[in-house]
Structure 1
Amino acid sequence: MIENTPIVRKLGAFVALSDPELSVLASLHKRRRTFVAGRDLVHQGQSDQAAYILASGWACSYKLLEDGQRQIVDFQIPGDFLGLRSVLLYVSDHSIEPVTDIEVTEIHVADLLDAFARTPRLATAFLWVASRDEAMVVEHLVDVGRRNAAERTAHFLLELGSRLALVGMGSREGYGCPLTQYHLADALGLSAVHVNRVLRQLRESGLVTFRDAHVEFHDYGRLADFANFDPEYLDHAGPVLA
């Protein structure tokens, strides 16, 4: 049932979806595909592609530099869109790689535009999602530019937890997380050795432990204060459009 999916949980934080809107959203879920971990489903510079809604698993969007270094722009979790901006701009400015095996819904641009025409409030909800993603990119710029290594790591783990909580996959106690220290390094602009050192520092300070694919918050409030984490930019508690 579409009502219990991560995408409905996510859009439902902004718009109280009606039955007709849920029906239109369900009609977008006609083409289901699976991709294996480590094999790009979207390549930087690719054109004439589809967009996707991530149903299960984790993915990452990244830019590859000429010297082979990788900067992970963001991670995608169930309920997130993959390649939505690129399909509207016709050329992808980044690559998308599954972190785990994933299942997605493939959406062609014609179907997306038709859904927007039939249900303008659904288009508004998609705009909210895009605006929220942009707000996260701004925070990531602040992470890399102004927060020290421990603060940016803590902020990143808190942001992931807040995003996962929205789709019923996390809480203030913690969440499952398949990312490696190499993923964190490429996202945070640190070396894997530095990430390891920072995670040990946060653990020994009694704040958070990231081990065996699980993040455990020991003192959520103190960790949020340490990272100066204010979830307002994620807009989870904003007004729901009736």
Structure 2
Amino acid sequence: MNARSPLARKLSNFVRLNEAELLVLDGFERRRTDFASGKDLVQQGQSKHTAYILSSGWVCSYKLQPDGSRQIVDFQIPGDFLGLRSVLLRTSDHSFEAVTDIQAAQVHAKDLLAAFSDTPRLATAVFWAASRDEAMVVEHLVNLGCRDADARMAHFLLELASRLSLVGLGTKQGYDCPLTQYHLADALGLSAVHVNRVLRKLRERGLVTFREGHVTFNDIDGLIKLAEFDPGYLDQEDPVLL
């Protein structure tokens, strides 16, 4: 693995990794497995599971409700850990499903703990990534509870742009995005019909176009203003949207 891999690029935003630390990350990613779209990597309530590092593709983390509905908590992109918190718990508190065909590397708790003991700077970088994920969940709660549908969608698309830029997959012009309107509905607390209506409104206002798996920013400053988007919670040295 090298400094251009998604995980190394992400963690290097917090600390410049040395050769020994990069070799440890390389070891984490050796046990790679392919998963087909729609496959659960970890299921809610599952015990004795491992964490994963997402090497390629997109994943969603979600919780199922008793009536069969689901709330998508977040989407994971290359360079993200899957189940890092849950690997230390007796059971997983939510599920992870492949949105696209993906490749992910298994990481066992004992290997994580050994690596953290041997490379404390790397442990700090991983803790930074976990803390950043928690900050995003807090912002998602604000998104669901305090923003109207237009601002909610705008904020979501801008956050994805910032996250993807950190691993070389997004720019101020836009990014590839495999999410369906049903994914967006489950993540944003809207119906699929409402999602369609909101995206059409944002397109007609000349702000953003989401079509055929690609997000194009037509007026990113206007979209930032609509969402009142402040990327500070993402803790990136060079936020792409500023």
TM-score by length of 1: 0.97
Aligned residue in 2 for 1:69: 69
Structure 2: distance between partners of 1:115 and 1:132: 20
Single out whichever of 229-238 and 172-181 deviates more from structure 2.
229-238
Structure 1: distance between partners of 2:126 and 2:118: 14
Structure 2: distance between partners of 1:72 and 1:229: 21
Structure 1 segments, 4+ long, off by >4 Å, are: none
Aligned residue in 2 for 1:24: 24
Question: Contact 1:25/1:115 (CA < 8 Å) preserved in 2?
Answer: no
Q: Secondary structure at the match of 1:66?
A: coil
Aligned residue in 2 for 1:208: 208
Single out whichever of 87-96 and 196-205 deviates more from structure 2.
87-96
Aligned residue in 2 for 1:80: 80
Structure 2: distance between partners of 1:134 and 1:70: 20
Structure 2: distance between partners of 1:137 and 1:41: 20
Instruction: Give the aligned residue type for 2:22.
Output: L
TM-aligned CA deviation for residue 3 of structure 1: 2.4
Aligned residue in 2 for 1:104: 104
CA RMSD of aligned residues (A): 0.9
Q: Which runs of 5+ in 1 are unaligned?
A: none
Deviation track 1:72-109 (CA, whole Å, cap 9, x = no partner) reads 00000000000111101231100000000000111011
Aligned residue in 2 for 1:94: 94
TM-aligned CA deviation for residue 55 of structure 1: 0.2
Aligned residue in 2 for 1:41: 41
How much identity, in percent, do the aligned residues show? 66
Q: Which has the higher contact order (CA 8 A, sep 6+)?
A: 1
Aligned residue in 2 for 1:147: 147
Q: Secondary structure at the match of 2:42?
A: coil
Structure 1: distance between partners of 2:54 and 2:27: 16
Question: Contact 1:43/1:95 (CA < 8 Å) preserved in 2?
Answer: yes
TM-aligned CA deviation for residue 30 of structure 1: 2.2
TM-aligned CA deviation for residue 146 of structure 1: 0.5
Q: Secondary structure at the match of 1:154?
A: helix
Deviation track 1:31-87 (CA, whole Å, cap 9, x = no partner) reads 111110001110001111110000000000000000011100000000000011110
Q: Secondary structure at the match of 2:21?
A: helix
Instruction: Give the aligned residue type for 1:60.
Output: C
TM-aligned CA deviation for residue 28 of structure 1: 1.5
Q: Which runs of 5+ in 2 are unaligned?
A: none
Question: Contact 1:49/1:90 (CA < 8 Å) preserved in 2?
Answer: no
Q: Secondary structure at the match of 2:3?
A: helix
The alignment covers a number of residue pairs equal to: 238
Q: Secondary structure at the match of 1:27?
A: helix
Structure 1: distance between partners of 2:123 and 2:20: 14
